[in-house]
Amino acid sequence: MDSKTLILALVPVILAGVLIHAVNASIQKTSDGPRWWLAGTAAHGIGLGLISLRGFVPDVVGVVIGDILAAGGFLILLEGVARFAGQRVPHWQLGALAGLVVFGFPVFTWAVDIAALRFAIFGIGVIVPCLLMLPYLTVIGHRDGLPGVRLLRYTIFLFVIALAVLSSSILLFDPDLPSVLAPSQMMALGILFLMVVETNLVFGFVLLSAGRSASVLKQAALTDHLTGLPNRRAFEAVVNESFLSSPAAVAPAAIAVFDVDHFKQVNDTYGHDVGDAVLQHVADILKSAIRETDHVARLGGEEFVALIHSHSSVTVQDVAERVREAVQDHPFRLDGREIPVTISAGLVEVTDAHPTLTGLFKRADAALYRAKDAGRNRIITAAA
């Protein structure tokens, strides 16, 4: 089968990819990535369609514009992957690759008509963007999971190797190739391989979107919607993992349950909207006061919880006291007025080699009630 027929057979595959990307982009409205994948796949498909029409359309269309769009589509795909990862491709990288594509094809069409060099430029214009996708895929994998990332990585590695071998073979063994549409077994194999690559790329990008959706849903299930802190389920998972990896006998730790003092009075006096704002205010202070090695979450209502670790001369009591003072020293401001906010806490040190959260919470709650009864705005440590 000749190259022209194979390229024509590839166009429907790309059209199907365009439709899939269009549906995906309509679903994934919170990310720019799918829209860029749609644009890149469409540009690449239009370019291949124009290439297949060489001889029926002017060379400026079938050769120059066709090659520019076919290779340039991968630049657009690269930008889409970067945006999906929450980043942007450096302008100098895009500019250098775009310059090679936009100026390279006309030069080796009109100034020097060498099809082998045009294909080499096509190879560089595709290989480099594919390789530049890899760091962004790593970021996406850490954030959303690996299924789509793995498929795209394997596809990119195979595609890069195959395209590099094909481009080198044409330059070394068939430098006088009159056109990519000329009968050539190497070119035919390359186009057949491109069909597989195009299909894998489409499904790989769709898997990235699915992974992102699953990650967002999982994060929502583990996050308190009001404060943005982890919820109780997330906290329990983190604590259990921490206890398994660092038993209490090796890494001293404590559970602190914090409760906002007189919170019902705040709701009754100022309304529930202000009460919610106070909880957000306290949550922000807790996040800033807790160290990176510790963990804080919202249990529900006006209660928060933290896993605190002891480090060198800093005891868990020191950390809990610092948190209490931070809340006390930062009153909530409402319409120019200051509303004093304080917290009480029950602290329970983890001394068992295999502690249970149920028992720790029970002891911390008992200590919290003692702190309330003792006048609030204080830390009480549970008895060993």
Q: Is the pLDDT of residue 282 over 60?
A: yes
Average pLDDT over residues 103-111: 82
Please report the pLDDT score of residue 250 as a whole number: 47
Q: How far apart are CA 300 and CA 230, in angstroms?
A: 11
Nearest Cα neighbor of 331 from 253, 270, 278 is: 278
Burial class of residue 369 (count of CB atoms within 10 Å of its CB; 0-12, 13-18, 19+): middle
Give just the sign of the alpha carbon dihedral 224, 344, 322, 334.
positive
Please report the pLDDT score of residue 75 as a whole number: 96
Q: How far apart are CA 355 and CA 242, in angstroms?
A: 11
Q: Give residue-wise pLDDT tens across range 124-137.
A: 999 999 999 999 99
Residues 6+ apart with CB under 8 A from 234: 222, 223, 297
Q: Strand ranges (DSSP E) for 202-262?
A: 253-260
Q: Is 222 helix (H, G, I), strand (E, B) or coil?
A: coil
Nearest Cα neighbor of 102 from 165, 55, 43, 161 is: 43
β-bridge pairing 379-381 and 343-350:
parallel
How would you label 266-303 residue by residue, b for 16+ Cβ within 10 Å and e otherwise? bbeebeeebbebbbebbbebbeebbeeebbbbbbeebb
Count, residues in the chain: 384
Q: How far apart are CA 47 and CA 52, in angstroms?
A: 9
Cα 153 to the center of its chain, rounded Å? 16
Q: Give residue-wise pLDDT tens across range 9-34.
A: 777 888 888 999 999 999 888 889 99
The residue behind tokens 């009109």 is 110
Q: Is 192 helix (H, G, I), strand (E, B) or coil?
A: helix
Where does the pLDDT of residue 187 fall: very low under 50, low under 70, confident under 90, or very high at 90 and above? low
Mean pLDDT over the full length of the chain: 87
Q: Is the pLDDT of residue 249 over 70?
A: no
For residue 350, list its beta bridge partners.
253
Enumerate the active-site residues: 302
* Contact of 297 with 242, CB cutoff 8 Å: no
The residue behind tokens 């789509």 is 148
Query: Cα dist. 150→4, 216, 322, 352 in Å?
Result: 32, 20, 45, 41
Domains of the chain in start order, with CATH, are: 3-221 (1.20.1070.10), 232-381 (3.30.70.270)
